[in-house]
Chains A and B, each alone.
Chain A
Amino acid sequence: MALKVLIVDDSQIMRDVMTKFLGNFDLEIAATARDGEEALRLFAETEPDLVTLDITMPKIDGLAALKEMKKMRPEAQVIIVSAINDKSVVLKALDAGAALFINKPVSEAAVRSAIEKVLAQTTR
Chain B
Amino acid sequence: MKAFSAAAFFALLSLLSTTYPADLAKIKAEHAVIDFSGTVIAQTDTVALDGRWNFYWREFISPEGYARTQPIEVPVRGTWKGLPYEKTVLPADGWASYQLLILLGQNRGDLALKVGNIGTAYQLFANGVLIASQGAPAVSADQSVPRTIPMLAKLPPPDAAGRILLVAHISNYHDRHGGIWQTMRLGHAADMLRTVNNEYALAAFLFGAIFLIGLHHFFMFLRRTADVSNLAFALLCVLLAVRALVEGNRYLMVLLPDFPWVWNSRLAYLTFYAALPLSVWFLRIVFRRQFHKWVFFGAIAVSLPACLAVLILPPRLYTETLTGFQIFALLMILYGIVAVVRAIFAGERGARTLAVGLAGLFAGVTIDILTVANILNFPELSPFGLIGFILSQSVLLSMRQEDAYTRLETLAGENRELIESMEVKIIERTATIAELSAEGDAVLNALNEGVFLINREKIVGNKFSQKIFEILELEPEELSGKPFADIVLKITGEDLSEDARLFLNVLFNANMEDDMVEQLNPLRKIHIRGLKSGTEKIIDFSFTRQRRKQGIMGAFVSCKDITADETLKAELEERETRANRQLEIVRTLFSINPEALQAFYGSIENEIEDIDSALSAESSMDLRSRIEQVYRATHTIKGSAQLFKIGFIADQAHAYETRLQELMQDAGLQNLDMIAVHMGYAELQKALEEFEEMIRKILQFQREASSMHMNAIDVLRESLPKMVNEICEKLGKKAALRYENFSAEHIPRRYAPALRDALVQCVRNSLAHSVEPPEERIKTGKPESAEILISVAKKDDELIVTVRDDGKSFDIDAIRRRAGEKNLRQHSDLAAMADQDLINLVFMPGFSTAAPGGAFAGRGAGMDIVAKKIRQIGGKIRIAWGRGQFTEFAFVLPRK
Binding site for B on A (CB under 8 A): 84, 87-88, 90-92, 94-95, 99-101, 103, 113, 117, 121
| Interface status of B395 (Cβ within 8 A of chain A) | no
Closest to B500 in A: A91
Given A87-B499, A88-B495, A94-B509, 16 new contacts (CB under 8 A): A84-B520, A87-B503, A87-B519, A88-B522, A91-B499, A91-B506, A91-B522, A94-B505, A94-B506, A95-B502, A99-B511, A100-B511, A101-B516, A103-B516, A103-B519, A121-B511
| Top 7 A-B pairs, shortest CB-CB distance | A91-B502, A95-B502, A87-B522, A88-B499, A84-B519, A87-B520, A94-B506
Closest to A120 in B: B511
14 contacting pairs across A/B (C-beta < 8 A): A87-B519, A87-B520, A87-B522, A88-B499, A88-B502, A88-B522, A90-B520, A91-B502, A92-B502, A94-B506, A100-B511, A101-B516, A117-B511, A121-B511
CA distance in complex: A86, B45 (Å): 117
CB distance from A36 to the nearest CB of B (A): 21
Closest to A84 in B: B519
Residues of A within 8 A of B506 (CB): 91, 94
Residues of B within 8 A of A87 (CB): 499, 503, 519-522
Query: CB-CB contacts of B210-243 with A at 8 A, as 1s and 0s?
Result: 0000000000000000000000000000000000
| Interface status of B512 (Cβ within 8 A of chain A) | yes
| Interface status of B513 (Cβ within 8 A of chain A) | yes
Closest to B513 in A: A113
CA distance in complex: A90, B522 (Å): 11
Closest to B506 in A: A94
Contacting A at CB under 8 A, from B475-509, are 495, 498-499, 502-503, 505-506, 509
A-B contact count (CB 8 A): 38
Closest to A102 in B: B516
CA distance in complex: A117, B519 (Å): 19
CB distance from A63 to the nearest CB of B (A): 12
From DSSP, what is the main secondary structure of chain B's interface residues? helix
Binding site for A on B (CB under 8 A): 495, 498-499, 502-503, 505-506, 509, 511-513, 516, 519-522
Closest to B499 in A: A88
Residues of B within 8 A of A117 (CB): 511
Contact B520 A91 (CB under 8 A): yes
CA distance in complex: A84, B506 (Å): 14
CB distance from A17 to the nearest CB of B (A): 19
Residues of B within 8 A of A84 (CB): 519-520
Residues of B within 8 A of A113 (CB): 513
CA distance in complex: A32, B636 (Å): 46
Contact A91 B519 (CB under 8 A): no
> Most chain-B CB neighbours within 10 Å: which of A88, A103, A121?
A88
> Most chain-A CB neighbours within 10 Å: which of B511, B516, B519?
B516
Closest to B504 in A: A91
Residues of A within 8 A of B516 (CB): 100-101, 103
CA distance in complex: A91, B520 (Å): 7
Closest to B522 in A: A87
From DSSP, what is the main secondary structure of chain A's interface residues? helix
CB distance from B503 to the nearest CB of A (A): 6
CA distance in complex: A95, B519 (Å): 16
CB distance from A1 to the nearest CB of B (A): 23
Closest to B509 in A: A94
Closest to B498 in A: A88
Residues of A within 8 A of B503 (CB): 87, 91
Closest to A94 in B: B506
CB distance from A13 to the nearest CB of B (A): 22
Closest to B503 in A: A91
CA distance in complex: A117, B498 (Å): 27
CB distance from B551 to the nearest CB of A (A): 14
Closest to B519 in A: A84
> Most chain-B CB neighbours within 10 Å: which of A84, A88, A91, A117?
A91
Residues of A within 8 A of B520 (CB): 84, 87, 90-91, 94
CB distance from B651 to the nearest CB of A (A): 22
Residues of B within 8 A of A88 (CB): 495, 498-499, 502, 522
CB distance from B549 to the nearest CB of A (A): 15
Contacts A100-B511, A101-B516 given: A95-B505 contact, CB under 8 Å?
yes
CB distance from B557 to the nearest CB of A (A): 17
CA distance in complex: A117, B513 (Å): 10
Residues of B within 8 A of A95 (CB): 502, 505
Residues of B within 8 A of A94 (CB): 502, 505-506, 509, 520
CA distance in complex: A91, B495 (Å): 12
Residues of B within 8 A of A99 (CB): 511
CB distance from A101 to the nearest CB of B (A): 7
CB distance from B613 to the nearest CB of A (A): 43
CA distance in complex: A29, B511 (Å): 24
CA distance in complex: A70, B506 (Å): 18
CB distance from A61 to the nearest CB of B (A): 17
CA distance in complex: A101, B513 (Å): 10
CA distance in complex: A88, B506 (Å): 12
CA distance in complex: A61, B511 (Å): 25
Closest to A95 in B: B502
CB distance from A33 to the nearest CB of B (A): 24
CA distance in complex: A101, B509 (Å): 12
Closest to A103 in B: B519
CA distance in complex: A81, B505 (Å): 19
CA distance in complex: A121, B519 (Å): 23
CB distance from B112 to the nearest CB of A (A): 86
Residues of A within 8 A of B505 (CB): 94-95
> Most chain-B CB neighbours within 10 Å: which of A87, A100, A101, A121?
A87
CB distance from B485 to the nearest CB of A (A): 12
CB distance from B497 to the nearest CB of A (A): 11
CA distance in complex: A56, B18 (Å): 110
CA distance in complex: A95, B521 (Å): 14
CA distance in complex: A95, B500 (Å): 12
CA distance in complex: A113, B513 (Å): 9
CB distance from A55 to the nearest CB of B (A): 13
CB distance from B272 to the nearest CB of A (A): 67
CA distance in complex: A17, B666 (Å): 44
Closest to A117 in B: B511
Residues of B within 8 A of A121 (CB): 511
CA distance in complex: A56, B70 (Å): 134
CA distance in complex: A99, B505 (Å): 12
CA distance in complex: A71, B519 (Å): 28
CA distance in complex: A113, B515 (Å): 13
CA distance in complex: A99, B519 (Å): 16
CB distance from A3 to the nearest CB of B (A): 17
CB distance from A84 to the nearest CB of B (A): 5
Residues of B within 8 A of A101 (CB): 516
Residues of A within 8 A of B498 (CB): 88
Residues of A within 8 A of B495 (CB): 88
Closest to B523 in A: A87
CA distance in complex: A87, B498 (Å): 12
Closest to A88 in B: B499
CA distance in complex: A94, B512 (Å): 10
CB distance from A95 to the nearest CB of B (A): 5
CB distance from B507 to the nearest CB of A (A): 10
CB distance from B809 to the nearest CB of A (A): 80
> Most chain-B CB neighbours within 10 Å: which of A84, A94, A121?
A94
CB distance from A117 to the nearest CB of B (A): 6
CA distance in complex: A57, B180 (Å): 117
Residues of B within 8 A of A100 (CB): 511-512, 516
Residues of A within 8 A of B512 (CB): 100
Residues of A within 8 A of B513 (CB): 113
Residues of A within 8 A of B519 (CB): 84, 87, 103
Residues of A within 8 A of B509 (CB): 94
CB distance from A16 to the nearest CB of B (A): 24
CA distance in complex: A117, B503 (Å): 20
CA distance in complex: A84, B511 (Å): 18
Residues of B within 8 A of A91 (CB): 499, 502-503, 506, 520, 522
CA distance in complex: A90, B516 (Å): 11
Closest to B511 in A: A117
Residues of A within 8 A of B522 (CB): 87-88, 91
CA distance in complex: A90, B502 (Å): 10
